[in-house]
Amino acid sequence: MIVTIATVKGFQNGIKDKIVKVHGNYIIDHAANMEGADPLVVGAQFVPGFVKNGSSSELLGLGIERAAISASKAGIIKGDVDIDGVVAKGLGYDDFNYCMNGFLLRQLDSTLVKQEPWIFISKSLSSRLLLDTGDRATFVFFVEDSSGRGRPRAARPLIAGIFET
């Protein structure tokens, strides 16, 4: 019984650590953004300087190890044979390496990735869509035009890495 409880607690802590690493302990957001799939556009002038610097001494003085700016957007990803709905989370390449440290299975060289749009996908999504690192996937998302109608936009980013959580 004690072994079972210890095992369950270990899994709970492992899951919590993974979630915190990817999503963070705290999310600072505008009150109008009700955790929808569409990001709220915020100009750079509204982002505090210490958040832009990521790991400044000001953050460390507050007991914060690092801060990152991210965005998420709902969309559809298409592989060679199938499609799937996704919510893409946008991060800088360095932030993503920090978040995915310990989760990555395969990753392309960073010099190739910095030259063009890239994405990381999960192992399960990779298996379903038959995609691997170095392949290109079609990612379709919807943006509102000036008249308020949703229009599809497509991109063909390079798959820079595959992770497993």
At 32-87, the pLDDT tens digits run 655 555 555 555 555 566 555 555 677 677 776 666 667 778 899 998 889 999 88
Contacts of 59 (CB under 8 A, 6+ apart): 50, 51, 53, 65, 66, 67
Residue 140: predicted pLDDT: 92
Would 134 be classed as within a structural domain?
yes
pTM: 0.65
Phi, psi for residue 17 in degrees, rounded to 5: -60, -40
| Cβ neighbour number for residue 25 with a 10 Å cutoff | 9
Would 163 be classed as within a structural domain?
yes
> 81: closest CA among 25, 127, 20?
127
What domain range includes position 118? 70-165
The C-alpha atoms of residue 135 and residue 132 are separated, in whole angstroms, by 6
Would 99 be classed as within a structural domain?
yes
Least confident span in 38-52, 58-72, 106-120, 123-137: 38-52
The total of structural domains in the chain comes to 1
Residue 77: predicted pLDDT: 93
Would 89 be classed as within a structural domain?
yes
The C-alpha atoms of residue 155 and residue 137 are separated, in whole angstroms, by 8
Determine the residue type at 16: K
Would 156 be classed as within a structural domain?
yes
| Cβ neighbour number for residue 35 with a 10 Å cutoff | 7
Would 36 be classed as within a structural domain?
no
Would 64 be classed as within a structural domain?
no
Residue 27 pLDDT exceeds 70: no
Would 12 be classed as within a structural domain?
no
Q: Order across the sheet with 138-144: list the strands.
A: 83-90, 71-78, 138-144, 150-155
> 109: closest CA among 133, 79, 135, 139?
133
